[in-house]
């Protein structure tokens, strides 16, 4: 910081150089530095570099909202604990959604719950032709019946789902409350959305419905997912999940020996597929994640199933992998049929169903949303690493709509495990970063001057 100030001071003296003798210039510079340093540096040291009188954070209402976070951290912790303790497996989010709905309604927002269960609180802007969405997913990966009681240990909160996405939901409510408490009127309409169906086979259905409903007016989407302030997801990792199903007549292991066997066919297909070459750049992966079939050790099965996850930084590679999987299954089934001793005793059928698809996409580097995040980072003194990941932001990014995913502050770990934890220390920095990014794109309503 100090070095930067000194450089600036020298630069300002530069136009004098051609007009004056070197010695005089040196003396002038020395005087200038001595005069300026003691007065300017303590002030500048306290001010982030982007700070200037016209900046967002210098507006009294924005400042009040930023202060709100620092004063109300306990409230945010408590809401996070309450929401986390309401079970919300994907497709069973309704109870937790109702709790979020009540809090958003108490902030004076106009609330609606859409057909599939997303809760949306609307804060109208002075220009209602465009909207900015701040979203956090309601659902967790934990099945119904998982014990969820938040424990406090030292500075930590521990429970399944406490961070993913207890932190995001608490952040969503805190930002809404801070904006309302400070009576901020945005220029664009802000939608605070707690959405269903982000995890696993939820397949981003909540975000898909939000985008469908608001696409024509959508300026940007900011997703709050989990904790942290160190990253910004601007690249959507594409994935596709497929289920292979092979069926046949089935029979007795001894008396029907020789008839085509769906498990044999699946094994033949799988061995072919796992030899498929994938590039390291763009990074491309596959996983044979679940295999099932058969009813007993002494029966020829009538069915065999395989679930496969395909991911790539480039969607063309996913399409290539899917077509390779289809070729391998067709070939595996053909091998089994050709090699069956009793081919006429039943035919194998196969099909591949898509059980999930997350499209890819990237935020352009010159995006105004990313610029807003960068200014917010600069203001709070944070640095963000750009990440590629699979989040609700995949949907808008795949459609060319500006979107990012952020952690909602603090730190956490053990996501998707029973040991999940969250530590709120430093949460206010994360919330300030979110608020400034949101207002950076939504803007403030023009002030009405005295008339
Ligand atoms: Zn999540």
Please tell me the distance between residue 323's alpha carbon and the centre of ligand 1 in angstroms.
30
Q: Are 119 and 194 in contact (CB under 8 A)?
A: yes
- Regarding pTM above 0.85, the answer is no
Q: Are 387 and 404 in contact (CB under 8 A)?
A: no
Q: What is the largest CA-CA distance in the chain?
A: 109
What's the CA gap between 108 and 111, in Å, rounded? 9
Please tell me the distance between residue 124's alpha carbon and the centre of ligand 1 in angstroms.
27
Strand order through the sheet with 421-423: 151-153, 156-158, 421-423, 411-413
Q: Residue 65 contacts by C-beta under 8 Å, 6 or more apart in sequence?
A: 178, 179, 181, 182, 184, 435
Please tell me the distance between residue 446's alpha carbon and the centre of ligand 1 in angstroms.
36
Please tell me the distance between residue 420's alpha carbon and the centre of ligand 1 in angstroms.
12
Q: Residue 366 contacts by C-beta under 8 Å, 6 or more apart in sequence?
A: none
Please tell me the distance between residue 164's alpha carbon and the centre of ligand 1 in angstroms.
5
Range 419-422 contact pairs with CB under 8 angstroms and sequence separation of 24 or more: 419/158, 420/158, 420/159, 420/160, 420/161, 420/162, 420/163, 420/164, 421/156, 421/157, 421/158, 421/162, 421/163, 422/80, 422/156, 422/157, 422/158, 422/162, 422/163, 422/166, 422/167, 422/227
Cα torsion through 136, 138, 143, 149, rounded to 10: 100
Please tell me the distance between residue 134's alpha carbon and the centre of ligand 1 in angstroms.
14
pLDDT at 26: 55
Please tell me the distance between residue 336's alpha carbon and the centre of ligand 1 in angstroms.
42
Please tell me the distance between residue 199's alpha carbon and the centre of ligand 1 in angstroms.
7
By residue count, the chain amounts to 451
* Pairing of β 411-413 and β 421-423: antiparallel
pLDDT at 48: 31
Please tell me the distance between residue 379's alpha carbon and the centre of ligand 1 in angstroms.
26
For 16, 38, 169, the CA distances from 24, given in Å and listed in that order, are 10, 22, 62
Please tell me the distance between residue 112's alpha carbon and the centre of ligand 1 in angstroms.
23
Please tell me the distance between residue 346's alpha carbon and the centre of ligand 1 in angstroms.
46
Report mean pLDDT in 10-residue bins for the chain, 451 residues.
35 41 54 44 35 66 96 97 97 98 96 97 95 98 94 96 98 98 97 95 94 97 97 96 96 94 98 96 95 96 97 93 98 94 86 94 95 94 95 97 98 93 97 97 82 47
Please tell me the distance between residue 51's alpha carbon and the centre of ligand 1 in angstroms.
33
Please tell me the distance between residue 137's alpha carbon and the centre of ligand 1 in angstroms.
7
Please tell me the distance between residue 149's alpha carbon and the centre of ligand 1 in angstroms.
19
Q: Are 375 and 433 in contact (CB under 8 A)?
A: no
Please tell me the distance between residue 392's alpha carbon and the centre of ligand 1 in angstroms.
8
Please tell me the distance between residue 206's alpha carbon and the centre of ligand 1 in angstroms.
13
Please tell me the distance between residue 393's alpha carbon and the centre of ligand 1 in angstroms.
11
Please tell me the distance between residue 28's alpha carbon and the centre of ligand 1 in angstroms.
59
Please tell me the distance between residue 167's alpha carbon and the centre of ligand 1 in angstroms.
9
Please tell me the distance between residue 90's alpha carbon and the centre of ligand 1 in angstroms.
11
Please tell me the distance between residue 235's alpha carbon and the centre of ligand 1 in angstroms.
16
């Amino acid at each position: 910081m100090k070095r930067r100030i000194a450089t600036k001071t020298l630069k300002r003296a530069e136009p004098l150089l051609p007009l004056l003798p070197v010695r005089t210039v040196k003396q002038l510079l020395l005087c200038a530095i001595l005069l300026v340093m003691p007065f300017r540096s303590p002030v500048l040291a306290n001010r982030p570099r982007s700070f200037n009188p016209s900046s967002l954070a210098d507006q009294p209402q924005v400042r009040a909202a930023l202060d709100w976070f620092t004063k109300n951290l306990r409230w945010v912790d408590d809401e996070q604990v309450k929401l986390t303790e309401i079970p919300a497996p994907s497709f069973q989010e309704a109870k937790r959604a109702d709790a979020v709905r009540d809090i958003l309604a108490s902030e004076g927002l106009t609330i609606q719950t859409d057909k599939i269960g997303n809760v949306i609180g609307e804060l109208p802007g002075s220009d209602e032709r465009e909207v900015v969405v701040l979203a956090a997913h309601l659902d967790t990966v934990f099945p119904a019946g998982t014990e969820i009681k938040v424990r406090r240990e030292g500075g930590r909160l521990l429970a399944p789902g406490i961070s993913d996405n207890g932190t995001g939901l608490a952040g969503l409510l805190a930002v809404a409350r801070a904006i309302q408490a400070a009576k901020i009127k945005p220029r664009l309409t802000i939608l605070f959305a707690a959405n269903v169906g982000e995890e696993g086979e939820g397949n981003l259905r909540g975000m898909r419905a939000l985008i469908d409903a608001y696409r024509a007016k959508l300026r940007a989407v900011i997703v709050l997912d989990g904790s942290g302030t160190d990253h910004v997801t601007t690249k959507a990792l594409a994935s596709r999940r497929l289920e292979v199903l092979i069926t046949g007549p089935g029979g007795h292991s001894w008396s029907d020996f020789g008839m085509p066997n769906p498990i044999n066919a699946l094994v033949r297909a799988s061995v072919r597929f796992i030899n498929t070459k994938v590039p390291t750049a763009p990074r491309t992966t596959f996983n044979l994640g679940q295999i099932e079939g058969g009813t007993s050790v002494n029966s020829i099965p009538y069915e065999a199933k395989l679930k496969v996850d395909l991911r790539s930084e480039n969607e063309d590679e996913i399409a290539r992998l899917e077509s390779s999987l289809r070729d391998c299954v067709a070939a595996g089934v053909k091998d089994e049929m050709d090699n069956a001793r009793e081919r006429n005793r039943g035919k194998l059928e196969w099909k591949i169903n898509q059980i999930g698809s997350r499209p890819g996409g990237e935020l352009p580097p010159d995006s105004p949303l990313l610029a807003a995040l960068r200014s917010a980072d600069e203001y709070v003194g944070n640095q963000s690493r750009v990440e590629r990941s699979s989040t609700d932001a995949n949907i808008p990014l795949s459609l060319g709509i500006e979107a990012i995913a952020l952690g909602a502050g603090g730190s956490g770990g053990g996501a998707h495990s029973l040991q999940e934890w969250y530590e709120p220390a430093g949460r206010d920095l994360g919330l300030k970063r979110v608020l400034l990014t949101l207002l950076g794109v939504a803007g403030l309503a023009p002030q009405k001057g005295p008339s």
